[in-house]
Amino acid sequence: MLHGLDYASDCAPWTDQCAAPARLRALWALIQNDLDCPDVVAFQEVSPRQQELVPEMLPALCDGRYQLVVDDRGLPDQEMILTDLQILDEAYVELAGAPIWSAHWVRLKTGLGIVDVFATHFASSSFNLDCLGPEMTGCDEACVPGDDYGACHPRQAVAFLRGLSDDAVLQLVVGDLNRQIGDSRIGTLIDAGFIDTYRAAGRPECDPETGLGCSCCVEGGPPLAGLDDPAVRFTERIDFVLARPEVGCSLSVDPGTTDHWADRPLDSPVEGLWWAADHAGVVAGLSLAC
């Protein structure tokens, strides 16, 4: 969502975190008009200001169908999940480098069966220290010698979900993972059985020359961090919906509903903004045969 905090972006202080209310209105329109109100929506990089705005504006989204799942800690960079499915359980999850890096897990009752959604934001280069032992904030037994925060994050995701996998027909790791598909941190998840749904749908790999297939990033200077520039081109694919079906189940990825979205400028600017956030989203249409 681009938290827009002054220390971490080029949002000028007087812009209210790069016009956060206007960006949220634009995002609501994209969810309704482009995605037709999906069952689950996961956000990362939700600032305290956006944590105020989302509950206030949620009744206007998709006729008020969504429940909000968030841990109200007022942290500068949190995860948030919206769903119209039955919530069975949920929890805030500290990752290495907490409280900057974290995840939120929700267990849902769906027509497929029980589904776990692990929405997360893995470490970026702005805060990615070495994990030297449990004394480092959030590093735990899942981390291995030589890990930095970002390398440990997928191990922590796998370890957390492993304890739940006996009850779930499908587990999802979704969000801004801050590395491309060939990186070892993504490999940790692929090796654990997770499927890159975007590529499984036959979508093209990111071409930084054209921006096709890329999900990141809008960049620029103040006052609006490039969100006011319709000519920005994405150059990386670092945002994922990764899915792991239960053993014995076959996952189908619908190519008609699986793609990037919000990956081009808005049709018309909202208060001078052409982008609702600095990343594209990823949407996946999934079904199971068990």
pLDDT, tens digit, 9 for 90 and up, residues 1-26: 988 775 556 889 899 999 999 999 99
Q: Please compute the mean of the pLDDT values over residues 35-42 and round it to a whole number.
A: 97
Look over the chain and give the mean of its residue pLDDT values, rounded to a whole number: 93
Name the strand (E) or helix (H) holding 82: strand 78-83
Sign of CA dihedral 99, 137, 159, 176: positive
pTM value?
A: 0.95
CA-CA distance, 258 to 138, in Å (whole number)?
Answer: 33
CA-CA distance, 167 to 165, in Å (whole number)?
Answer: 5
Beta bridge partners of 236: 216
pLDDT for 49-81, tens place per residue? 999 999 999 999 999 999 999 998 878 789 999
Confidence of residue 136 (pLDDT cuts 50, 70, 90): low
* pLDDT for residue 25: 96
Q: Given 3.30.365.10, 3.60.10.10, 3.30.420.40, 3.40.50.300, which CATH number is that of 13-289?
A: 3.60.10.10
* pLDDT for residue 30: 96
Q: Please compute the mean of the pLDDT values over residues 184-203 and round it to a whole number.
A: 98
Cis peptide before 131 (omega within 30 of 0): no
* pLDDT for residue 131: 87
**Domains of the chain by residue range:** 13-289
* pLDDT for residue 3: 83
pLDDT at 157 > cutoff 90: yes
* pLDDT for residue 8: 57
Name the strand (E) or helix (H) holding 49: helix 48-57
* Backbone phi and psi for residue 69, each to the nearest 5 degrees, phi listed first: -120, 115
pLDDT for 74-101, tens place per residue? 787 899 999 999 999 999 999 999 888 9
* pLDDT for residue 6: 59
Percent of the chain with pLDDT over 70: 97
pLDDT at 45 > cutoff 80: yes
Beta bridge partners of 82: 41, 68
pLDDT at 135 > cutoff 70: no
* pLDDT for residue 89: 97
Q: Which of 2-11, 168-177, 239-248 has the lowest mean pLDDT?
A: 2-11
Cβ neighbors of 231 (< 8 A, separation 6 or more) are none
